[in-house]
Structure 1
Amino acid sequence: MTLDRIAPALFVLLWSTGWIVAKYASPHADPLTFLGLRFTLAAVLFAAIVLFSSAAWPSTRAGWGHAFLSGVFLHGIYLGGVWWAISQGVPSSISGLVAALQPLLTAMVAPFLVGERLTGSQRLGIVLGFAGLSVAILPRLTALDTSTLQIALVPLLVNVFAMASVTAGTIYQKRYLQQGDLRAIAALQYVGGFLVVMPLALLIEPMRIDWNLEFALAMAWSVFGLSLISIMLLLYLIRRGQVSRAASLTYLVPPAVAIESWFLFGEALTIPMIVGTVIVVFGVWLTNRKTRVVA
């Protein structure tokens, strides 16, 4: 079994644990402070990998700049915005619904920015993915009262902005970072993410960290499981496939989080969630399947 075949499923499984880690870590550290430390450790880890593997750093100033800027989009603004929004009361179901807009937005702008052409089945897959995610999450949204939504308005807008940022970062990565060693690029991207979250943490957070076992476990998984393995898989998928295909994988993340939450925390796995997951999986298959080109 080749990496091309297992990488999408492995990425979804690992990336979905980010929401689980956030739940474990939130009582023990402020979100931006946690991310600042996470990005620091991840950058050091990737730099060590580059050093000991004799991988090449970007050979031009532009290459370094592209790597830093893509990290600003993919890590700093996106993860910083999502983690802060959730810490301010945005329910994970709403955050997941906002994240589901990314593949649709990516598909809309990719033809203009990177020259991708979507087939009819890919367009249908994107629509089905959004529809399935809506089926899975809308019952939770309708259960929220108006006052809760009003209180979370600013964090919700930050969450939307974060979604737009990861869309921009994915397309930027595809356009400007097709060459170069992925390990070196990842190290520089985490530096770019750090330059966003740490100044904000200094500005708006008391930078609280409870140095206990739960915090250590959450940080270890965040660095090795998410920042190392998951990001390498994402960068690999972006480089090997279409932007829209890589982005469509985010459809599977919220249903995966729901299943993990049911298993780990006993949260209800409802009929709409199950039905929506089936529709989502079919939509992702349509978007990612390889079609034969007829001459």
Structure 2
Amino acid sequence: MTDNFNQPSTGLFVKAMPIIFVFLWSTGFIGAKMGLPFVEPMTFLAIRFGICVLLMVPFVLITQTQWPARWIDYIHISIGGLLMHGGYLGFVFLSISKGTPAGISSLIVGIQPLIVAALAGVLLKETVSLQKWIGLLLGLAGVFLVVSNKLSIGEGTLFGMSLSFIALVSIAAATLYQKKFCSQMNIKSGNLIQFAVAGVYFYLTSLLFETGEVIWSGELIFALLWLVIILSLGAMTLLYMLLRTGAAANVSSLFYLTPPCTAVVAYFLFDETLGALSLLGMGIAVAGVALVNYRFKKAGRT
């Protein structure tokens, strides 16, 4: 038996989960933008997940959360965490630190819903209809328009772009793996296991490849708190709840909405402009996600 997250109520919160998830996930750039000038990426992520573990341990113990019953479950949960945190987050942060523009990185990773949809039928026995394929392609087109004004390839970004492609493969694999092998995990203990595995991974990689220097500042502390509370504890929990209750292709399509939402947040926080193409792209991306997730009623039926 798992905790209450396994069977969420059918109230307003459940219906609002996709919207809340998209907003929270889209704010992840705030932490990276504020924190990376003061710390190297692997060290940054090691500190982030170390804090996550410190916060989760007493919470899991106090609530007497159930742990996985089999060792194979620990292995599956750990692999899912390494793909999602170590692979996706690690290579995105590395890519940006190597000079890849955020627009290019987000566009590369934005291909993820198409990969998940293509593989979901084979690996998860999910049916991806023509309507969903059209919606996925529309969503990708919308993302391209949103970030088109930020697409610029400067010197030395080819290696950084390749890291974004590794992040793309990692998050697609993480989505499919989590859906197939970890959909019934207890979200509290499962998150703790994944945070701990990710923390060890980032700590070891920081020891091997970085100096470990940290310039403590108000911006870095805010970035860490934001990434820990809003992203790791908030958005990741919602993502796993969505994967548990919805098809992998449908959940993945929500990632198309994060670049438009990020653009809106950046407009208010950093005075980044929103051009006509960006606004058009937002509309197209929303329409694409609607096509993926909306089930049209057949004629003659109510």
- Do they fold alike, i.e. is TM over 0.5? yes
1:78 to 78, 88, 95: 88
- Identical counterparts, % of pairs: 33
Query: What amino acid sits opposite 1:107 in the alignment?
Result: A
* 1:71–1:191 CA contact under 8 A, matched in 2: no
Query: What amino acid sits opposite 1:22 in the alignment?
Result: A
RMSD: 1.5
| Mapped partners of 1:110, 1:48: distance in 2 | 37
SS of alignment partner, residue 190 of structure 1 = helix
| Mapped partners of 1:50, 1:28: distance in 2 | 32
Report the counterpart of residue 45 of structure 2 in structure 1: 35
* Pairing 1:202–2:212 present: no
* Pairing 1:100–2:105 present: no
Report the counterpart of residue 225 of structure 2 in structure 1: 220
Report the counterpart of residue 293 of structure 2 in structure 1: 288
Q: CA deviation at 1:155?
A: 1.3
| Mapped partners of 2:48, 2:297: distance in 1 | 42
Q: CA deviation at 1:175?
A: 0.5
| Mapped partners of 1:206, 1:22: distance in 2 | 19
Q: Deviations over 1:156-181 (max 9, x none)?
A: 10110111101101100010112231
* Pairing 1:56–2:62 present: no
1:275 to 259, 280, 294: 280
| Mapped partners of 1:115, 1:173: distance in 2 | 15
* 1:77–1:196 CA contact under 8 A, matched in 2: no
User: Which structure 1 residue ranges, 5 or more long, are not aligned?
Assistant: none
Report the counterpart of residue 19 of structure 2 in structure 1: 9
1:44 to 21, 40, 54: 54
* Pairing 1:192–2:202 present: no
* 2:250–2:293 CA contact under 8 A, matched in 1: yes
Counting only pairs closer than 5 Å after superposition, residues 127-166 of structure 1 correspond to structure 2 as 127-141=137-151, 144=152, 148=154, 150-166=155-171
| Mapped partners of 1:66, 1:189: distance in 2 | 10
CA 1:140 to 1:191, structure 2 compared with 1: closer, same or farther past 3 Å?
Answer: same
SS of alignment partner, residue 100 of structure 2 = coil
| Mapped partners of 2:257, 2:62: distance in 1 | 35
SS of alignment partner, residue 209 of structure 1 = coil
Q: Deviations over 1:246-286 (max 9, x none)?
A: 11111011111111111111111111100000000111111
Report the counterpart of residue 265 of structure 1 in structure 2: 270
* 2:30–2:223 CA contact under 8 A, matched in 1: no
| Mapped partners of 1:44, 1:172: distance in 2 | 26
* 2:120–2:176 CA contact under 8 A, matched in 1: yes
1:121 to 131, 134, 137: 131
2:253 to 215, 235, 248: 248
Q: CA deviation at 1:44?
A: 2.8
| Mapped partners of 2:172, 2:201: distance in 1 | 17
Report the counterpart of residue 181 of structure 2 in structure 1: 176
